[in-house]
């Protein structure tokens, strides 16, 4: 069998004719070369016999005293009866364990037949190894803007790794997507601005739906050295109005000093002391300053103070991020305006603090991507926002994705690990391909909005300049571009005690695929606290679509429900091959009983929803001890006593205002009055 890499999981799919023959005998684990020699001798007799049969090929696995063969079932049967054979096992497939693909739920999208098929993703990078087994047949267009070569290649490796994350058979988020590969970076991983923009426009001209760009620029200056301070010493450094072009304005100053037992302060060009925005004291002292507007240009000073003689080293970084208006930012915004989604790496300068987003991730319409590790922590290197100033200040990154120790295709063959926002970016590009396959009418603005809306919030509540909107979720994103309406079945009686039939006539969704969220709605008087939906439930279809094109995704049983919920999703109805005005489907939920598979009605113990009334102020949830539909236990302590009467008396107006009278109408007159109190008193 072909082992792909170290971290593996086994899945039980194998060819019936590919097996591994395990031989008997204890192994002597001394010298490795001696072990191999002895085992090959042990296997010689079996090898001689195999050579007489119809065996396509074989591999001697001497480290486990086994031989892998590809042959016919009758030959396998003969070999099984040999006295020196311990057992025969299938030569099953071994897969890469891709924590990153599963983390963003891309694998859950594939089961709906959505894998990026038909979507063109352009990798603007260092090139690609098109002969890699994972990428064979996926390259639909190629352009070399560095060396002008006709056929795809990669002399750096970065582009091949990125391509594998987007669309690799084993490593990709969207393994069905087509790849357009444009080489703009040389073997050292650098490129002229004009070459990158040329790569963008060539991608656009040649059919790109998505551009995945794991590159960027963040100008900064650095000065430093070593010195000795006896009392006070100052180091002068320059802050310029901008670098390269006016968009790149000075935004922050970072200072790193060793050892950390000295004091440092910052002096502005006008001579005033500037208070640090943050300082971190460890083996080295790191202090940063960010302004609410671009830094004043001119000569700044780092002041170093000590009570005695101290030798120290220092580095001063001045960072010049784009405000979102650089030329390459403009290129990205223009691409979005003509319908092309651009996904761009946030950058790997996170150690310089906030305002370190690279350009063109800084562009308004770019989807800027930061990097996470497997524990949902922001990678130490992942750049942070915001970008722009004043009313144009924008939260960045937009989203985050896995970007630490990501396994993908290696340009020299096989697989390799890589880390960086370069690795996080193609995860998002792959999700965009999935979204566009599900709904080709999406605009770049739609894609960005849905990606952010469906991301899993991390860090501080809401969007922030560290995690953006959170970690992308492929399943939620695709569901939200294919859900064009919710189908409700209402109930005033809990539990549900009948078959449920949902009818769907598609009249507004785009042709292709539609997904409907089938939801139970309980009304305003109660809130849902739990649901049980049986795993054995059977779904009967009546549709103009073949059954193979209709799928039901069932929510997990015993769902955790947010407090106060008024409705809950029971399942998703997914239909492929939809034609507007022509497609009809109805679905019935039944249980199956008996040997003949008879459909019978659900009963109260099969499918039910737990609900409760809202609490009275300062009380627990009320209950109905005798099951008559009236809630005598108003304070929720589980018994009927005089305290319940007092709670109802003091909250009669509250009951009426919340329209809870039917649950406390103990005299049956449809009103909340003193007679209800008297009747409750008599019951107590």
Q: With helix as H, strand as E and coil as C, how does 247-303 read?
A: CECCCEEEEEEECCCCEEEEECCCCCEECCCEEEECCCEEEEEECCCCCCCEEEEEE
What's the burial of 87, exposed, middle or buried (CB within 10 Å: 0-12/13-18/19+)?
exposed
| Per-residue pLDDT reduced to its tens digit, 164-212 | 999 999 999 999 999 999 999 999 998 888 889 889 999 988 999 999 9
First to last CA, the chain: 76
Judgement on whether residues 444 and 328 belong to the same structural domain of the protein = yes
Residue 225 CA to residue 315 CA, distance in Å, equals: 7
| Residue range 96-114: mean pLDDT, rounded | 81
Q: Is residue 285 part of a domain?
A: yes
Alpha-carbon distance values, 549 to 105, 167, 176 (Å): 22, 24, 18
Please choose, from the candidates 670, 537, 657, the residue with its C-alpha nearest in 3D space to the C-alpha of residue 591.
Answer: 537
Q: Which domain holds residue 668?
A: 613-683
Look at residue 313 in the predicted model and tell me its pLDDT. 95
Q: Is residue 3 part of a domain?
A: no
Please choose, from the candidates 588, 583, 584, the residue with its C-alpha nearest in 3D space to the C-alpha of residue 571.
Answer: 588
| Residue range 387-412: mean pLDDT, rounded | 95
Residue 510 CA to residue 111 CA, distance in Å, equals: 20
| Per-residue pLDDT reduced to its tens digit, 520-567 | 444 444 444 444 444 444 455 556 666 666 665 554 433 444 444 444
The Cβ-side half-sphere exposure at 630, using a 13 Å CA radius, reads 17
Query: Are 226 and 312 contacting, i.e. CB atoms less than 8 angstroms apart?
Result: yes
Q: Is residue 305 part of a domain?
A: yes
Q: pLDDT over 70 for what percent of the chain?
A: 76
- Using the predicted structure, report yes or no on whether residue 68 has a pLDDT greater than 90: no
Query: Are 189 and 442 contacting, i.e. CB atoms less than 8 angstroms apart?
Result: no
Judgement on whether residues 544 and 594 belong to the same structural domain of the protein = yes
Judgement on whether residues 312 and 342 belong to the same structural domain of the protein = no
Judgement on whether residues 193 and 260 belong to the same structural domain of the protein = no
Higher pLDDT, 112 or 259: 259
| Per-residue pLDDT reduced to its tens digit, 282-336 | 889 999 999 889 999 999 999 999 988 999 999 999 999 999 999 899 889 989 9
User: Final residue of a domain: which of 55, 81, 96?
Assistant: 96
Judgement on whether residues 224 and 175 belong to the same structural domain of the protein = no
User: Final residue of a domain: which of 96, 117, 148?
Assistant: 96
Domain count, the chain: 5
Judgement on whether residues 399 and 443 belong to the same structural domain of the protein = yes
Task: Supply the pTM of this predicted model.
Answer: 0.65
Alpha-carbon distance values, 498 to 519, 534, 603 (Å): 16, 14, 6
Judgement on whether residues 424 and 562 belong to the same structural domain of the protein = no
Q: What is the mean pLDDT of the chain?
A: 80
In this structure, the chain runs to a length of: 684
Check which CATH number belongs to the domain holding 42 and give it: 3.30.70.80
Judgement on whether residues 184 and 211 belong to the same structural domain of the protein = yes
pLDDT confidence band for 10 (50 / 70 / 90): very low
Residue 561, C-beta contacts closer than 8 angstroms, at least 6 positions apart: 528, 529, 530, 531, 568
Judgement on whether residues 461 and 398 belong to the same structural domain of the protein = yes
Strand segments, DSSP code E, in 544-680 are 550-554, 567-578, 584-593, 598-600, 608-612
Which segments of 460-573 does DSSP mark as H helices, in order?
A: 474-482
Please choose, from the candidates 623, 369, 354, the residue with its C-alpha nearest in 3D space to the C-alpha of residue 472.
Answer: 369
Query: Are 194 and 105 contacting, i.e. CB atoms less than 8 angstroms apart?
Result: no
Alpha-carbon distance values, 637 to 325, 362, 630 (Å): 63, 57, 15
Judgement on whether residues 297 and 207 belong to the same structural domain of the protein = no
Judgement on whether residues 105 and 155 belong to the same structural domain of the protein = yes
Judgement on whether residues 336 and 315 belong to the same structural domain of the protein = no
What backbone phi and psi angles, to 5 degrees, belong to 644?
-65, -40
Strands of the sheet containing 273-274, edge to edge, are 232-239, 298-305, 263-267, 273-274
User: Final residue of a domain: which of 426, 448, 481?
Assistant: 481
């Amino acid at each position: 069998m072909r082992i792909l890499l170290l971290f593996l999981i086994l899945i039980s799919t194998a060819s019936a004719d590919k097996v591994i023959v395990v031989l008997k005998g204890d192994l002597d684990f001394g010298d490795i070369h001696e072990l191999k020699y002895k085992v090959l001798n042990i296997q010689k007799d079996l090898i001689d016999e195999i050579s007489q049969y119809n065996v396509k090929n074989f591999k001697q696995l001497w480290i486990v005293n086994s031989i892998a063969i590809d042959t016919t079932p009758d030959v396998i049967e003969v070999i099984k009866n040999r006295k020196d054979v311990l057992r025969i096992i299938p030569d099953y497939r071994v897969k890469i364990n891709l924590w990153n693909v599963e983390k963003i739920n891309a694998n859950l999208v594939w089961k709906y037949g959505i894998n990026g098929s038909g979507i063109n993703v352009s990798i603007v990078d260092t090139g690609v190894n098109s002969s890699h087994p994972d990428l064979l047949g996926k390259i639909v267009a190629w352009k070399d803007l560095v060396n002008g070569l006709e056929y795809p290649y990669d002399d750096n490796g970065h582009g091949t790794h990125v391509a594998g994350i987007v669309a690799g058979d084993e490593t990709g988020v969207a393994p069905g997507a087509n790849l357009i590969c444009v080489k703009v970076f040389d073997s050292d991983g650098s490129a002229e601005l004009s070459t990158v923009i040329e790569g963008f426009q060539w991608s656009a001209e040649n059919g790109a739906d998505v551009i995945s760009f794991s590159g960027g620029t963040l100008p900064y200056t650095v000065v430093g050295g070593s010195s000795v301070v006896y009392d006070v010493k100052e180091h002068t450094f320059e802050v310029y109005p901008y670098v390269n072009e006016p968009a790149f304005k000075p935004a922050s100053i970072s200072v790193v000093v060793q050892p950390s037992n000295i004091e440092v302060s910052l002096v502005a060009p006008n001579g005033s002391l500037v208070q640090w925005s943050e300082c971190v004291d460890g083996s080295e002292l790191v202090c940063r300053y960010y302004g609410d507007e671009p830094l004043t240009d001119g000569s700044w000073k780092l002041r170093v103070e000590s009570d005695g003689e101290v030798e120290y080293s220092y580095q001063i970084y001045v960072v010049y991020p784009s405000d979102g208006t650089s030329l390459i930012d403009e290129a990205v915004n223009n691409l979005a305006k003509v319908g092309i989604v651009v996904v761009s790496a946030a950058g790997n300068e996170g150690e310089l603090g906030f305002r370190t987003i690279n350009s063109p991730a800084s562009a308004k319409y770019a989807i800027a991507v930061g990097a996470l590790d497997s524990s949902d922590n922001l990678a130490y290197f992942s750049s942070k926002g915001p970008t722009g100033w004043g009313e144009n200040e924008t939260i960045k990154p937009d989203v985050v994705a896995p970007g630490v120790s990501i396994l993908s295709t290696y340009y020299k063959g096989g697989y390799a690990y890589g880390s960086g926002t370069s690795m996080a970016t193609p995860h998002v590009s792959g999700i965009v391909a999935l979204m566009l396959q599900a709904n080709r009418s999406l605009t770049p603005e739609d894609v960005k909005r849905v990606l952010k809306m469906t991301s899993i919030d991390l860090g501080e509540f809401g969007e922030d300049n560290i995690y953006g909107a959170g970690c992308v979720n492929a399943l939620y994103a695709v569901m939200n571009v294919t859900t064009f309406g919710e189908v409700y079945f209402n109930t005033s009686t809990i539990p549900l005690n009948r078959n449920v039939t949902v009818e769907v006539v598609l009249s507004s969704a785009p042709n292709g695929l539609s997904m409907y969220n089938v939801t139970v709605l309980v009304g305003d008087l109660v809130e849902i606290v739990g649901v049980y939906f049986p795993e054995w439930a059977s779904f009967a279809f009546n549709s103009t679509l073949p059954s193979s094109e209709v799928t039901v995704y069932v929510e997990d049983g015993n769902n955790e429900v947010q407090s106060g919920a008024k409705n809950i999703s029971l399942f998703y109805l997914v239909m492929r091959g939809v034609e507007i005005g022509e497609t009809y489907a109805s679905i019935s939920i039944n249980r199956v009983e008996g040997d003949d598979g008879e459909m019978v009605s659900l009963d109260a113990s099969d499918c039910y929803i737990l609900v409760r009334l809202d609490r009275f102020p300062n009380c627990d949830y009320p209950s109905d001890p005798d099951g008559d539909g009236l809630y005598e236990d108003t304070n929720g302590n589980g018994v009927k006593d005089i305290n319940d009467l007092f709670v109802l008396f003091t909250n009669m107006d509250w009951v009426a205002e919340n329209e809870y009278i039917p649950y406390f109408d103990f005299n049956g007159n449809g009103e909340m009055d003193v007679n209800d109190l008297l009747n409750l008193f008599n019951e107590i």
